[in-house]
Chains A and B, each alone.
Chain A
């Protein structure tokens, strides 16, 4: 268990999330993949804070802000998806459109 392992783990999670973002046929699936990527970022920050930061408390605080921003992002994105679903009747990410206005 070293910093290298933490960075490698978060890289693997990032790749998994990017794959999901590019292949999910449903917009909600894309959002779930974004959560996986956020998780990877938090893990990376915590890894650096634990293993080598001068100021580990600041490193422990940073993921809290990431969580708050990602909660905001999910709230707004899901609201947009609900509005989109009301207008189009589906959430197929290969047939976007209808987002104007």
Chain B
């Protein structure tokens, strides 16, 4: 049962990701990205990582994609003609992407991968309680410092984004 679900979700994920990359209209590509994020969240649930699945829906679909759609609507005019990629771009893209796919798949030996665990993963390991405790645990093995650093990074990035995107460069009168 879970195998069938995995293959169905993986197939849909690949199809939607292809749509993200190939759709001529950028709004369609963004909507395909939402669909592919939902499929990924489903895969995370299937792999028993419920917190990551929730964060995926909240952060990516609720935040990042909305931001991208707003930018697309701001910067695309209705009359804009779609420019397809040139044959040379397509050729190089296919070559490099094909090499990235084919070489590891050829040399990836399943026996080289780390051994699977003996007992299946319990739902607690990826659940809210375990992750919350771990995230705020100051002792060794905890993630308190990265957690604080990432909040600082988010603040810096948001201030930087506002400064870069504002309409007029700061005049001399604003900051004497």
Contacts and interface: CB of A to CB of B under 8 A. Distances in A.
Interface of B, secondary structure class, is: helix
Given A16-B21, A56-B121, A25 B85 contact: yes
Contacts of B96: 18-19, 22
A interface residue count range (under 10 / 10 to 19 / 20 to 34 / 35 or more): 35 or more
B93 A28 contact: no
A73 B154 CA distance: 9
B64 A70 contact: yes
A74 B64 contact: yes
B10 A9 contact: yes
A15 B113 CA distance: 21
A51 B117 contact: yes
A91 B126 contact: no
Given A28-B26, A46-B44, A50-B48, A4 B108 contact: yes
A60 B150 contact: no
B101 interface: yes
Contact of B130 (A51, A57, A72): A57
Given A31-B68, A69-B150, A20 B20 contact: yes
Interface of B: 2-3, 6, 10, 13-14, 17-18, 20-22, 26, 29-30, 33, 36-37, 40, 43-44, 46-49, 51-52, 55-56, 59-60, 63-64, 67-68, 71-72, 74-75, 83-85, 89-90, 92-94, 96-98, 100-101, 104-105, 108, 110, 113-117, 121, 125-126, 130-131, 134-135, 141, 143, 146, 150, 153-154, 156-158, 160-162, 164-165, 167
